[in-house]
Copies of this chain bind each other. A is one copy, B any other.
Amino acid sequence: MNSEEDIRHREDADPTESMVEIEVQHPADAAETIEGLDIVEQVKFIKQLPIRDAAESIAEMDEYDQVELFKNLNRGLGARIVEQMSPDDATALLKGLDEELRLALLSRVPAEDRAELKTLLTFDPDTAGGVMNTEVVILDQELNVDQAIAKIRDEVEDKEIPYYAYLTDQKDRLVGVVSLRDILLARRGAVLKDLVKTQSLITAGYNMDKEEVAHLIARYNLLAVPVVDFGDRLLGVVTVDDVIDIIHEEASEDMQAMVGAGPDETTDSPWLYSVRMRLPWLIINVLFSSVSAWVVHLFEGNIAEMAVLAVLMPLVANQAGNTGQQALAVMIRQMAMERFDRKRAWLAVLRELRIGFLNGTIISVLVFAVAYAITGKADLASVLGLALGVDMLLGAVAGASIPLILKEMGRDPAQASSIFLTTITDSMGFFILLGLAGIFLLA
């Protein structure tokens, strides 16, 4: 909480001012407080909160902490909290629980909510349907502004919402969207359908990948995007605050998957979970490293004859690995931020090839010069410089291509990409260095 002082809550407001100040903790702050308690205290804390506050605070907790808390809460209270949560938060929570507890809680919420939650639970959590909120204001497009305001007023009690209201036709199909601002500023008596913007309506199919939905909202600066089924009927909305979470998650997934850590790991995950997520990739990495070791093994005779080669090996491998990781990082971020365009993507590989060639040449010449100055051996310095330059170029091309190749194979472009990369730069680096040495230094 280092920067607490930067966040200027107005607790220091002049008491003679008219603004009423009550000490109400924001749900996000309450969630942090709760997470800092042990489980017994957590349960006690939740019990003394009004149900609505408890629901809002729990919605802001990390998934792992939510699950632990619900395991320890009595089911009647748990069900009442679930009932109070917004349907998307409740669904996310229920998905994290084991089946027995989930069904027990569901059986205790009122039938109508239960039906809705059961429907929401059927959507893939990585799609628009899996993250959407079903609390939507739907208005008949023939209503006038005053009727619309009256309808919104009626519904607002149990809906958190909304910046937008959605217009449907007689067949319940989504035909337009109006913002509250449009309604507020319209002349009295105006009919809703006449307020609809002429720009084409942007919607997400319920099975659109949630990262695609995030791209849509980011690209078009939207506050929410409506989610529709195949018949264009409105199912819910994905809002911009959910999108921020999706973007954060996505960035963590990419960075962590790249090196074989669990995509959803945080420093709050149980440490054994992290061990479980990382160990398989470490085993794969050790197997892949064996390839590099095997390459060195092929040239063991050369090394026995000329041990200085072993001194140069890490220089070449590490440098080419770093060069490749620079290309890898830029490519993965680009793929995270923009819609994938195959042609542009391969042009980006070409770009990395140029960068790798120039950087490789410069470093290669520098290292040649320094090695020659130190050892006085032009042939040794040449072999080192050449191996370094070529391996750096290879690293750049590999780093840029690996995420594209993974994508073309239908896999996550980031997953283990750094592991694949260093396998290539290590083994090829050793092969080139020791091979060239065999030809030019030991002949």
Contacts and interface: CB of A to CB of B under 8 A. Distances in A.
A381 interface: no
Interface stretch (A41-49, A90-98, A105-113, A290-298): A290-298
B248 A337 contact: yes
Contact of A275 (B13, B19, B272, B355): B355
A313 B313 contact: yes
A26 interface: yes
A354 B333 CA distance: 30
B10 A359 contact: no
A244 B251 contact: no
Given A3-B340, A219-B28, A198 B21 contact: yes
Interface in A326-353: 326-334, 336-337, 339-342, 344-345, 347-348, 351
Interface in A198-228: 198-205, 208, 212, 216-221, 223, 228
A332 to B, nearest CB: 7
A304 to B, nearest CB: 4
Contact of A358 (B240, B275, B296): B275
Interface string A116-128: 0000000000000
Contact of A240 (B212, B244, B328): B244
B309 A310 contact: yes
A259 B325 CA distance: 6
Contact of A341 (B2, B176, B212): B2
A205 B6 contact: yes
Given A18-B141, A255-B255, A315-B292, A228 B163 contact: no
A161 to B, nearest CB: 8
> How many chain copies does the complex carry?
2
Given A278-B359, A279-B363, 20 more contacts: A2-B341, A2-B342, A6-B212, A8-B204, A8-B228, A9-B201, A19-B176, A153-B185, A163-B163, A180-B181, A218-B241, A223-B223, A223-B240, A243-B244, A247-B247, A267-B344, A272-B358, A278-B355, A285-B318, A314-B317
11 contacts: A2-B342, A13-B175, A24-B200, A240-B244, A244-B247, A252-B333, A266-B337, A275-B359, A278-B359, A282-B322, A290-B315
Interface of A: 1-4, 6-11, 13, 17-22, 24, 26, 28, 141, 149, 152-153, 156, 161-163, 169, 175-176, 180-181, 183-185, 193, 196, 198-205, 208, 212, 216-221, 223, 228, 240-241, 243-245, 247-248, 251-252, 254-256, 258-261, 265-267, 271-272, 274-275, 278-279, 281-283, 285-286, 289-290, 292-294, 296-297, 300-301, 303-304, 307-315, 317-319, 321-323, 325-334, 336-337, 339-342, 344-345, 347-348, 351, 354-355, 358-359, 362-363, 366-367, 418-419, 422, 426, 430
